[in-house]
Structure 1
Amino acid sequence: MVSDEELEEVGGGQELQNLMDTDLFFVDDAQGAPSDEQPSLDFAKDMGEQSEVSDAEDKEEKSEQENASEQSENDEELVEPEPVASTSTSRKAPAWIDSDDTNISVSLADNARLRKLRDTPSDNVVGGREYERRLRRQFERINPTPDWAQKARSKLHPTRQKRRRLSVSSDEEEKMQEDEALGDLLGDTGGILGPRPKKLAPGTLSIERLRDANLAAPSEGAIKAVQFHPSAQIPVLLTASEDRRLRFFNVDGHTNPHLQTVHIPDLPITTALFHPTGTNVLLTGPRPYFYTYDLQSGSASRSPRGLWGTTFSGDQMKEGSMEICAFNPTGEVLAVAGRKGYVHLVDWRSGTGQVVGSVKMNSVVKGVWWARGGAGAELMSLGEDAEVYVWDVGTRRCTKRWKDEGGFGATTITGDRAGQYLGIGSRHGIVSVYGSDAAPTSDSKRPKPLKTIGNLTTSISSVKFNHDSQLLAIASNTKKDQMRIIHLPSLTAYSNWPTFGTPLGHVTSIDFSTGSEYVAIGNSRGRALLYHLRDFAQQ
């Protein structure tokens, strides 16, 4: 017991001495925040009212729980819930039930994302319980229950599986699924047989620098050619350099391991091309003969004699050249630029490398390209005077001839895979981009360029389109860091890359991978720079 003197010392004995008991306590009815007003003096009356209200609320809550339990059992028969890790054979009561669910109403027609929950086109407003049931049904339709879970449920609740009913008949559900699939198909602009292609936006290019592709085996001389394997299943990149070596790398974006090196002592390699079938590689240079490297056997072989059926010795070896060449899309014919305006057609299908025909231009040949058009592909050749010749290979006749508006001093010609664009580079840094009117099947006698790109000021040495004709890479090896990437739909250059700080060096060769996920850039320092285009990354 605490004495009055001790209470007086702590100040707690006299303060509450004159208060009534009803003034010392109040009941919190949870209907709002405690009031600052003085509590009622009729304590017994208030307690009685609170008791009646509490009993009524308990009865109402109990009734709602019973109704919710019945509704839950009904929903349980319509839609099987996810299995619960429990050894009890009876279903546990819900831990919490929101009584407001029975009072809400949801419009299925006004919200586009909820229209798939309608049973009929006239369905609009449903209650909270029905809305929950339809959401569960839609979820199970998209994510069906695994077989192992169904077997476990059947063993755990054999009678419940027998009593389970579907919310709609099988015919109606199948029809709803067909209508939903048709709606998704008609509402999508992508292809039916494959994923929708990525559409690039102009202005900013999402690009990331990776480790050099040839870091595992650097070249001792300038890179002359880089090219990816034509098959998307073979992530192989080749590099040909001034040290007369051909190297292969497995491009994985991380370590890029070195696969093999091939040394060709008697051929200064300037051009290395994968055959369209991907079985071998053609190696050419300032010599009248060529080498082929077979990827299956791993052996390199030289052509048995000169391209024109003669043998050369001494200084005559330098008179012939096969630096400018291109395969047709099937790989059956090889077009080689010769001297005095000749373009020779080599029968590659027979394997002997014999010249089966030739066509002649009026100026020095600067580039050849097989343009897709009509039933196959037609040969296009570019002269030093910027004139373009279109040849019918079967009859050896020129079917069209027109001059590039970019002027004179043309250096290279190339096009895209689909035959939609054609690019012509010149010594003045101008790249003329042509559209469909430059195709061999077009009736236009003098095509007009879509745009003349003047972002570079030195001689164009490389022009390369990506696989889906959205990007165009142009470069010059005369000055350092002379490279741009063009967004073809808008014909504008990307402003964020490359920058003045991008260490490209003197760019000698460019190539995109089969799906444009990577772009390889060879330079005069013997490095094969590798960049990752994030917009084309495989999902």
Structure 2
Amino acid sequence: MLDTDLFFVDDAMGQRRDFNVQSEPDVGESDGEDDIQSRMGDEDETQEDEEEEEEGGSDDEESEAQIPTASKQKGPTWTDPDDPALQVSLAGDKRGRKLREAVSEDVIGGRDYERRLRRQFEKINPTPDWAATARKKLHPAKAKRRRPSTSSASESDEDNELPDVLADARGILQQGRKANTIPQGILSIERLRDANLAARSEGEVKAVHFHPSPEVPVLMVASTDRRLRLFNINGHTNPHLQTVHIPELPVTTAMFHPGGASILLTGPRPFYYTYDLMSGTALRSPRGLWGTTFTKTGVAQDSSMEICAFDPSGEVLAVAGRSGQIHLVDWRAGQGQVVGSVKMNAAVKSLAWSHDGSGQLMSLGENSEVYVWDIGERRCVNRWKDDGGFGSRLMAGDRVGKYLSIGSRTGLVNVYGSEGVSSLASNSPKPLKTLGNITTAITSLRFNHDSSLVAIASNVKKDQMRMIHLPTLTAFSNWPTSSTPLGHVTSVDFSARSEYIAIGNSRGRVLLYQLKDFSTQ
């Protein structure tokens, strides 16, 4: 057998080059050197011809783009010569059946099999936007071929570029950034893998809360099994980070501190727990938190801390007590210390801080009255009643200070503008709109980061949740649907930039959805 039948050189261009090597023992070294020099001379001549072709092609750039030289193309680094002779059966393989183009098709060649595998992979994993953009920058001639500099060519180029400029009213420099608006009517949303699938809760989910910093993609989940779980939300695997068991406290309220360094856990007990994210330790507050400042007998009468809220700076924690008492806890030292209180004429049902820079606290009573408090002076600066008085029970404000929403036991939600938040408003502000999309008691109200969406939900019946478009105060028609597996929704929260929305239910699941209008900003 000759050496030519045994060896060949596979170059980087994917072209097979066979060398005519003869196994003759009489051939001397001088003949081999002459052969090599002649080949090098041929390669030099070929290279000079290619350079002349490139210089000549500069005058006609269109022909150069259509007929690229071999030196500009890069083929596969490995080519198996046995692929054309390979025969693959598609009908006998369960995974290969999806590659068939016809039901009766069975055996195909190796090259065709490779082509179909590539097509199936690109179908499942499309080219990302960043890769397409990088390719356009790396090969601008392929993205848009130049034409000769004639008057007709320049006019055609202007016709191609002009619609791109006039398609948007924004400036040219701002076209790369997406507008912070979301259209009404149809919500672009996609369901992802459950956020807590790696460590599902064994009881009802009481609270879900995203970390306040967009650089920390962490979701906190608290459930009735007295466990706090942390997950890294990446939209794919959502790995489980840690579980904290607190047997002494049935957690009903859990939230991140506005600074993001700790988590506050409260429930129907006169004490609370704080979990420090840096050290990974959970600390319980001492009993008798309220001391003797607000009681006559010297014994703490408030036995619950379920209703509480941090101010935007995280320096003050407001806690609802009995008989309309609202205790103010100084949180700057790391451990809570009661420094004052205010009192309304009815039992407190909900608390919310103003985010308009005034530092005011709003409290909702069981008689549907809203009190606006000046915390610095410890006095009520405004007081008004919720429109309609439908048995108000839950109040929430947005992160910008534009809206205030109040949910009732009948399912109606009043949405107020900035006048409902400001202390200078009238004694009877009128809501912008009363939403009647839910017919049972409202238990969850949550605004997104830019006040364009609000989620309202009820845990009384299954699938009682709606997403509201705030600029138009209308509900989205395409989501949720009758087939959306929401269950009894117990808690809702948006991520720091509204890329995700997490929905906890009574079965211990935390559904995770991606909002596409915010994920690409």
TM-score of the pair, normalised by structure 2: 0.68
- Call closer, same or farther: CA 1:523–1:190 in 2, change over 3 Å: farther
Deviation sequence 1:330-380 (CA, Å, 0-9, x none)? 10000111110011110000223111111111111011111123x442111
C-alpha deviation, 1:445, in angstroms = 2.9
**Higher Cα radius of gyration:** 1
Residue equivalent to 1:486: 468
Trace 1:122-141 onto structure 2 (pairs within 5 A): none
- Call closer, same or farther: CA 1:376–1:102 in 2, change over 3 Å: closer
Residue number among 227, 235, 260 corresponding to 2:209 in the alignment: 227
Letter in 2 for 1:248: L
Residue number among 260, 281, 285 corresponding to 2:263 in the alignment: 281
Deviation sequence 1:72-114 (CA, Å, 0-9, x none)? 87899xxx99997689xxxxxxxxxxxx979863675995765
Structure 2 Cα separation of the partners of residues 319 and 382 of structure 1:
18
C-alpha deviation, 1:439, in angstroms = 2.2
Deviates more, 1:395-404 or 1:186-195: 186-195
Trace 1:111-126 onto structure 2 (pairs within 5 A): none
Letter in 2 for 1:326: A
CA contact (8 A) 2:403 2:415 kept: yes
Is 1:105 the equivalent of 2:87?
no
Is 1:248 the equivalent of 2:295?
no
CA contact (8 A) 1:190 1:197 kept: no
Letter in 1 for 2:193: R
Letter in 2 for 1:437: E
C-alpha deviation, 1:194, in angstroms = 9.4
Residue equivalent to 2:341: 358
Residue equivalent to 2:190: 208
Structure 2 Cα separation of the partners of residues 189 and 317 of structure 1:
62
C-alpha deviation, 1:115, in angstroms = 7.1
SS at match of 2:216: coil
Structure 1 Cα separation of the partners of residues 172 and 153 of structure 2:
32
Trace 1:317-466 onto structure 2 (pairs within 5 A): 320-373=303-356, 375-466=357-448
Letter in 1 for 2:345: N
Structure 1 stretches lacking a partner, 5+ long: 1-68, 88-99, 117-182, 311-315
Structure 2 Cα separation of the partners of residues 113 and 498 of structure 1:
41
Letter in 1 for 2:304: S
Structure 2 Cα separation of the partners of residues 531 and 514 of structure 1:
14
Deviation sequence 1:304-339 (CA, Å, 0-9, x none)? 2332027xxxxx999511001110111000011111
CA contact (8 A) 1:286 1:318 kept: no
Structure 2 Cα separation of the partners of residues 354 and 529 of structure 1:
37
CA contact (8 A) 1:277 1:331 kept: yes
Structure 1 Cα separation of the partners of residues 474 and 229 of structure 2:
35
SS at match of 2:360: strand
Letter in 2 for 1:438: G
Structure 2 Cα separation of the partners of residues 190 and 447 of structure 1:
42
Deviation sequence 1:415-464 (CA, Å, 0-9, x none)? 11111111100001010001121122543332110100011111100000
CA contact (8 A) 1:406 1:452 kept: no
Residue equivalent to 2:277: 295
Letter in 2 for 1:224: K
SS at match of 1:526: coil
CA contact (8 A) 2:291 2:300 kept: no
C-alpha deviation, 1:257, in angstroms = 0.9
SS at match of 1:214: coil
Q: Percent identity?
A: 62
Structure 2 Cα separation of the partners of residues 283 and 270 of structure 1:
8
- Call closer, same or farther: CA 1:112–1:432 in 2, change over 3 Å: farther
Letter in 1 for 2:487: G
Structure 2 Cα separation of the partners of residues 331 and 301 of structure 1:
18
- Call closer, same or farther: CA 1:318–1:528 in 2, change over 3 Å: farther
Residue equivalent to 2:244: 262
Residue equivalent to 2:124: none
Residue equivalent to 2:179: 197
CA contact (8 A) 2:289 2:338 kept: yes
Deviation sequence 1:257-293 (CA, Å, 0-9, x none)? 1110001111000000100111000000001110000
RMSD: 3.5
C-alpha deviation, 1:203, in angstroms = 1.4
- Call closer, same or farther: CA 1:256–1:73 in 2, change over 3 Å: closer
Is 1:527 the equivalent of 2:509?
yes
CA contact (8 A) 1:436 1:442 kept: no
Residue equivalent to 2:37: none
Structure 2 Cα separation of the partners of residues 349 and 503 of structure 1:
42
Letter in 1 for 2:438: L
CA contact (8 A) 1:520 1:529 kept: yes
CA contact (8 A) 1:473 1:510 kept: yes
Residue equivalent to 1:309: 291
SS at match of 1:340: helix
Letter in 2 for 1:488: L
TM-score of the pair, normalised by structure 1: 0.66
Letter in 2 for 1:413: M
Letter in 2 for 1:208: E
Structure 2 Cα separation of the partners of residues 498 and 73 of structure 1:
59
SS at match of 1:440: coil
CA contact (8 A) 2:359 2:374 kept: no
Deviation sequence 1:148-201 (CA, Å, 0-9, x none)? xxxxxxxxxxxxxxxxxxxxxxxxxxxxxxxxxxx99x9626997993434212
Structure 2 Cα separation of the partners of residues 412 and 336 of structure 1:
15
Structure 2 Cα separation of the partners of residues 354 and 276 of structure 1:
18
SS at match of 2:511: strand
SS at match of 2:354: strand
Residue equivalent to 1:151: none
Deviation sequence 1:208-253 (CA, Å, 0-9, x none)? 1122111111111100000001111111111111110000011111
Deviation sequence 1:10-43 (CA, Å, 0-9, x none)? xxxxxxxxxxxxxxxxxxxxxxxxxxxxxxxxxx
Number of aligned residue pairs = 388
C-alpha deviation, 1:386, in angstroms = 1.0
Trace 1:61-80 onto structure 2 (pairs within 5 A): none
